[in-house]
Amino acid sequence: MEFPSKLIEDAVNEVSKLPGIGKKTALRLVLHLVKESEHKTAALTDALNRMRTQIRFCKTCYNISDTEECSICQSHRRDKSIICVVEETNDVMAIENTAQYNGVYHVLGGVISPMNGVGPADLKIDALVDRLMRAQSQVKEIVLALSPTMEGDTTAFYLNKRLKDFSIKVTSIARGVPVGGELEYTDEITLGRSISSRVPFQV
């Protein structure tokens, strides 16, 4: 792409580093900012800079938080005996949206991925073990809610090994045919697993 201006080129290059944003989309976004008032761009960049420099993480569950301990960890209405282990903040948001979970969380900050150079030490796994030791058997259950990918499964396997010494039940979110999904369009691995791990019929 030939740019009419070095300023546009630099901006497009930076914007297109974001995941899922190609050069064409980046150019469209940058030209949109040019058409809007300078104030709009300033508001956008200010919000991003403030977010990035001031962001904090909960000292207990490592979720993003504006306070030292997040509102979920602080809440007296949440069941502290169940910890749901997730990869990222957006997983917490997705599970909170279901309104089906009343325990607390632990945000790993990713999954084990040798391909991307992410090992167990890069994640909040030691922190989880410390947290369980500090809790002194008040925690009864760890729910693993990781992505059903190779990396997610590897991480779940590793976590299960590390958690063996604690007398804590380790569970995993159910895998199966999605609600509303058509059987014939479900991939065979999911369908196969959903048959082999069938459950008693519930009304």
Interface residues toward its own copies, by CB under 8 A = 1-8, 10-11, 13-15, 17-21, 25, 27-35, 38, 40-45, 47-56, 63-66, 70-71, 88-90, 92-93, 96-97, 109-110
Q: Closer to its own copies at the Cβ: 95 or 163?
A: 95
Exposed/middle/buried for 158, CB within 10 Å: 0-12, 13-18, 19+?
middle
From the CB of 180, what's the least distance to its own copies, in Å? 19
From the CB of 73, what's the least distance to its own copies, in Å? 11
**Rounded distance between C-alpha atoms, residue 50 and residue 200, angstroms:** 51
Alpha-carbon distances, residue 35 vs 15, 22, 39 (angstroms): 17, 20, 11
Q: Closer to its own copies at the Cβ: 84 or 168?
A: 84
**Rounded distance between C-alpha atoms, residue 97 and residue 78, angstroms:** 15
From the CB of 83, what's the least distance to its own copies, in Å? 16
From the CB of 46, what's the least distance to its own copies, in Å? 8
Query: Which contiguous run of DSSP H or E holds residue 86?
Result: strand 79-86
Q: Closer to its own copies at the Cβ: 7 or 150?
A: 7
C-beta separation of 105 from 83 below 8 A: yes
Q: Closer to its own copies at the Cβ: 66 or 126?
A: 66
